[in-house]
Amino acid sequence: MKTPEKMKAADLLSPNVLSVREVETPQPGPADVLIQVASCAICSSDVSLLAQPWPGQPPYGEFIPGHEYSGVIAAKGETVDEFRVGDRVAVEAHFGCGRCRNCRRGNYTSCLNYGKREKGHRANGFTTNGGFAQYVINHVNTIYPIPDSVGFAEASLITNLGCVLYGLETIGGYLVGDQVAVIGPGPLGLISVEAAKALCAGKVYLIGTRASRLQVGAAVGADRLIDSNREDPVQVVREETGNIGADLVIESSGSAQGIKMAIAMARRMGKILLLGFPDDPVSADFASLAKDNKAIYTVRGEGWGNCGRAVSLLASGKVDLKPLVTHSFPLAEIEEGFKTFRERIGGAIKVVVKPNDDDAGIP
Ligand SMILES: [Zn+2]
Ligand SMILES: [Zn+2]
């Protein structure tokens, strides 16, 4: 496969201004691969870094965002013998420096040299170039082979599933028979429902305010939908768990109300996993946490190789991310894609951009 010298890419020129233009196709280093991008999903992190620069983000005019993507290996560095040109792959965003205290213990998504390219750290789509382009460079440690049965669009969502699985691994991982409450039917919440069911949780509750999203939750396996405009979620979960509370609450809304609710509906010694990031400081009932021995866990990114486990779950058919991919746009219409995602036009959940849609090379 011959790669062209120039490629089309969406360059971030200034806050919220993405311009699709021709740039040099990047060249892989000795341990890198060049990926021809088939699908790159828009994430709420993209919306926030478009509006306000991310820590360590390259200067405007020199930065291609996009961190959730999949594609085909088009070229590789001389030391890469783990993959072949033509392999279909999905990626994870984080590549740790490998030398800080956290990386040396395997916690590369919490790299202490985050944003320091000269120390070896990369976070494609955040601090190094990402996938809203026809081609992108990835270190070999950040790619995962995907079987033919997994489509590129759903494969571009594996960082989301990887993040949920990383969270579940962090809290102990064993969910068989557990009562799990998920707050917030956004992409991570819906994927949390799917992952909990795949890991044989007992009853899974999904809490939200939008009926259409709750219906998607039902379609992907939630056992009990709670519309918080119509029912009191804390009361429902308490009642339906024999007045005990949920074994695990996954908070994915990032709202102050969601965090308060999570603490209130977790059982004594229950666990709370925070997947949503609140914009502002939140006051919460720490007395309930302390007196009832509840634990709050946080996760940063999709660590411990959980994107590989995510591919495995997808390939097994136990988790299906296809229902979450509601819209797709060619690269030239990326602005329209962002608008659709931001304003949830047409019930948008995940919107993907296909940078090579006009090219014949990719299915
Ligand atoms: Zn993301
Ligand atoms: Zn590090």
Cα 194 to middle of ligand 2, angstroms: 31
Question: H helices within 25-170, ranges in order?
Answer: 44-51, 101-104, 152-155, 158-170
DSSP code for 142? G
> In the prediction, which pLDDT does 2 show?
77
CA 205 to chain centre: 21
Confidence band of 52 (pLDDT split at 50, 70, 90) = very high
15-29, 37-51, 250-264, 347-361: which has the minimum mean pLDDT?
347-361
- Which residues neighbour ligand 2 (ion) by CB within 5 Å? 96-97, 100, 103, 111, 113
CA–CA dist 270, 293 (Å, integer): 8
Residue 14: partners with Cβ closer than 8 Å, 6 or more residues away: 60
Shortest-distance ligand to the CA of residue 97: 2
Shortest-distance ligand to the CA of residue 124: 1
Shortest-distance ligand to the CA of residue 115: 2
Shortest-distance ligand to the CA of residue 119: 2
SS3 category, 108? helix
Cα 241 to middle of ligand 1, angstroms: 33
Cα 356 to middle of ligand 1, angstroms: 21
Cα 269 to middle of ligand 1, angstroms: 31
CA–CA dist 280, 250 (Å, integer): 19
- pLDDT tens, position by position, 264-275: 999 999 999 999
- Measured from the Cβ of residue 343, the count of other Cβ atoms closer than 10 Å reads 9
User: What DSSP element (H or E) covers 216?
Assistant: helix 211-219
Asked if the model's pLDDT at residue 245 lies above 80, the reply is: yes
Question: Could you tell me the pTM of the whole model?
Answer: 0.95
> In the prediction, which pLDDT does 1 show?
59
User: What DSSP element (H or E) covers 146?
Assistant: none
Asked if the model's pLDDT at residue 360 lies above 80, the reply is: no
Shortest-distance ligand to the CA of residue 40: 1
